[in-house]
Chain A
């Protein structure tokens, strides 16, 4: 049951992170166009900086769930890696709990910001006069997805831990060792080199 939910959330998180990447890409094109237009015609569309700022805010929160599921949050494992598996599993649960203790209030207070903008009809203090609730709603959506994934992941990891299934805890929530981290970077470089050789 939890596994199916987690698989669904994983797909959602992947779609969200790619959507966020698309926004950053669009922002890069928009900002470039803005600079070139300013140079070539002496006028600019205006607002490229504002919109790309929203793109960063939204894409950041839309990527958080995928980072979490890929165990991509930075953890200092100098002590952790020398501990027995059971203790490591416990620390993995503590880590998820700590993340949740931060992420849930963040989502709640983020929502409060959205609510205020909505009820006041707040507009951005720029020529675009963007109704702030629009970017903020998308931004909060990412925070909520992150908090939901965290809670489900915590429940799944905790149930595995209680049953003594430490490998599953590790797979879901273990700290990625620096070896794993670097292996990814290196594999990345090699894959690119192979592509180039073709």
Chain B
């Protein structure tokens, strides 16, 4: 039964059947073939209760927050500040790219939005200052992935919903690895530019007065971060309420900057709902499929089968990493998470991995998926912003950062405290 299920699922997905339909049809077929009770009757009830789940309300709110923030015009000035502070390092603007992505990530829950926003602002500078274009492109594609590791994060919310893990804990757990990964990315640039100084572009001259003055441009992102993430730990708001407050804060920012209009709001809302409906349909289908496979006892059978392999904890972790890296080359990341997490996370947690820690590991694997060809959405976003040259430049430029992500996974496996220390401090 396990083999049939897997073969059916892989066949449907390989045939380019929409992921939601593949999951739904698989659930219905398994029900028809194996079940004595008509499980599909529960479909309506499952769909209704999943789709008014309060935690999931934060998903459209975060997307809307990003859509409004993008239009509020703060990213450009914030990038300017990063240039003033970091461009003296060997590798110059490329460090500013990573840092600006990190700061934007603290207000955005999406990696694609982070790469698109910072990329739009940064790319015109690459040729102007004579950078090695490939490495420069790589910093944008890779830096963008920080969007989902540094809170807030849409992917963490989805993980939390699928595994019943606490969102506040996941957010806290993402902060230290997020900063470490930023530093790893910057160290990668530093290393490359010390070996090949020509890649580092021309020096941009700044002074201390300019640096200090530029700090004011960090206030908007800091404010949004305070509202969206701070309010949770101040005990003011639940994650969903915090997301709603973030929408209002971003709206005020846009109004203050004179960027608000009804047309802009309508466009932002339409974009938001397009992403939300698409993701929610996959979630509804996945909930139904999970109901069917657990009613049929498939989940237990699968867990037992994996346990029967007799792999050690670390071997199992390695297998999961390889699985996601390979799958991530071909599959869109949110659908990949929704399809696999309900089966894989329980197995890993049963083996003794901390669910919060595993969530962070998954997010880092998703980041890797975003910059590994052939289907790495961030690679394409950056290539499209650039509008010339070959896609290969972006892929080659991202390779050093894929290696940095692997180092990050090893660090996280060796020192689980990187993720678990901060949530532990807050728990007291």
Tell which of B18, B241, B272 touches A31, judged by Cβ atoms closer than 8 Å: B241
- Which chain B residues in 205-258 approach chain A with CB under 8 Å? 231, 236-237, 240-241, 243-245, 247-248
Residue pair B120, A192 in contact (C-beta under 8 Å): yes
- Say which one of B70-78, B164-172, B188-196 lies at the interface with A: B70-78
Residue pair B120, A181 in contact (C-beta under 8 Å): no
Residue pair B52, A75 in contact (C-beta under 8 Å): no
Determine whether B380 belongs to the interface, using a CB cutoff of 8 Å to chain A. yes
CB-nearest residue of chain B to A187: B384
CB-nearest residue of chain B to A30: B244
Determine whether A109 belongs to the interface, using a CB cutoff of 8 Å to chain B. yes
Tell which of B13, B18, B20, B270 touches A17, judged by Cβ atoms closer than 8 Å: B270
Residues of A within 8 A of B73 (CB): 195-196
CB distance from A50 to the nearest CB of B (A): 8
Residues of B within 8 A of A79 (CB): 14-16
Determine whether A98 belongs to the interface, using a CB cutoff of 8 Å to chain B. yes
Residue pair B277, A32 in contact (C-beta under 8 Å): no
Determine whether B143 belongs to the interface, using a CB cutoff of 8 Å to chain A. no
Residues of A within 8 A of B112 (CB): 185
- Say which one of A2-10, A66-74, A151-159, A160-168 lies at the interface with B: A66-74
- Which chain B residues in 260-298 approach chain A with CB under 8 Å? 265-266, 269-274, 276-278, 280-282, 284-285
- Which chain A residues in 42-100 approach chain B with CB under 8 Å? 49, 52-57, 59-64, 66-67, 70, 72-80, 91, 94-95, 98-99
Determine whether A29 belongs to the interface, using a CB cutoff of 8 Å to chain B. yes
Residue pair B45, A113 in contact (C-beta under 8 Å): yes
Residue pair B51, A94 in contact (C-beta under 8 Å): no
CB-nearest residue of chain B to A177: B380
CB distance from A74 to the nearest CB of B (A): 5
Residues of A within 8 A of B271 (CB): 188
Question: What separation, in Å, do the CA atoms of A149 and B259 have in the docked complex?
Answer: 36
Residues of A within 8 A of B231 (CB): 35
**Residue from B47, B64, B237, B377 having most chain A Cβ neighbours under 10 A:** B47
Residue pair A73, B18 in contact (C-beta under 8 Å): yes
- Which chain B residues in 25-57 approach chain A with CB under 8 Å? 25, 28, 40-45, 47-48, 51-54, 56-57
CB distance from A174 to the nearest CB of B (A): 10
CB-nearest residue of chain B to A107: B44
Residue pair B248, A186 in contact (C-beta under 8 Å): no
- Which chain B residues in 50-90 approach chain A with CB under 8 Å? 51-54, 56-57, 60-61, 64, 70-71, 73, 76
Determine whether B302 belongs to the interface, using a CB cutoff of 8 Å to chain A. no
Interface SS of B by simple majority: helix
Residue pair B57, A27 in contact (C-beta under 8 Å): yes
Known: A32-B244, A95-B17, A98-B18. A76 touches B330 (CB 8 A): yes
CB-nearest residue of chain A to B50: A57
Tell which of B20, B76, B245, B269 touches A25, judged by Cβ atoms closer than 8 Å: B269
Known: A32-B245, A75-B19, A192-B71. A21 touches B335 (CB 8 A): no
Determine whether A22 belongs to the interface, using a CB cutoff of 8 Å to chain B. yes
Residue pair B44, A106 in contact (C-beta under 8 Å): yes
CB distance from B370 to the nearest CB of A (A): 11
Residue pair B274, A98 in contact (C-beta under 8 Å): no
What is the size category of the interface that chain A forms with chain B?
35 or more
Residue pair A21, B272 in contact (C-beta under 8 Å): yes
Question: What separation, in Å, do the CA atoms of A28 and B51 have in the docked complex?
Answer: 17
Determine whether B116 belongs to the interface, using a CB cutoff of 8 Å to chain A. yes
Residues of A within 8 A of B381 (CB): 182, 185-186, 189
Known: A76-B330, A179-B380. A17 touches B244 (CB 8 A): no
Determine whether B21 belongs to the interface, using a CB cutoff of 8 Å to chain A. yes
Determine whether B186 belongs to the interface, using a CB cutoff of 8 Å to chain A. no
Residue pair B21, A78 in contact (C-beta under 8 Å): no
Residues of A within 8 A of B385 (CB): 186, 189-190
Known: A73-B281, A95-B21. A190 touches B15 (CB 8 A): no
Tell which of A28, A60, A80, A188 touches B276, judged by Cβ atoms closer than 8 Å: A60
Determine whether B361 belongs to the interface, using a CB cutoff of 8 Å to chain A. no
A-B contacts, 9 of them at CB < 8 A, read: A31-B245, A35-B237, A74-B19, A74-B20, A75-B17, A94-B17, A95-B16, A98-B12, A186-B120
Chain B residues within 8 Å of A, Cβ to Cβ? 12-22, 24-25, 28, 40-45, 47-48, 51-54, 56-57, 60-61, 64, 70-71, 73, 76, 112-113, 116-117, 119-121, 231, 236-237, 240-241, 243-245, 247-248, 259, 265-266, 269-274, 276-278, 280-282, 284-285, 330-332, 334-335, 374-375, 377, 380-381, 383-385
Task: Give the 7 A-B residue pairs with the shortest CB-CB distance, closest first.
Answer: A21-B269, A63-B277, A182-B380, A102-B24, A109-B44, A186-B384, A53-B52
Task: Given contact pairs A63-B273, A110-B47, A189-B119, enumerate 7 new A-B contacts (beta carbons under 8 Å).
Answer: A20-B273, A21-B273, A52-B54, A62-B277, A73-B18, A74-B278, A186-B385
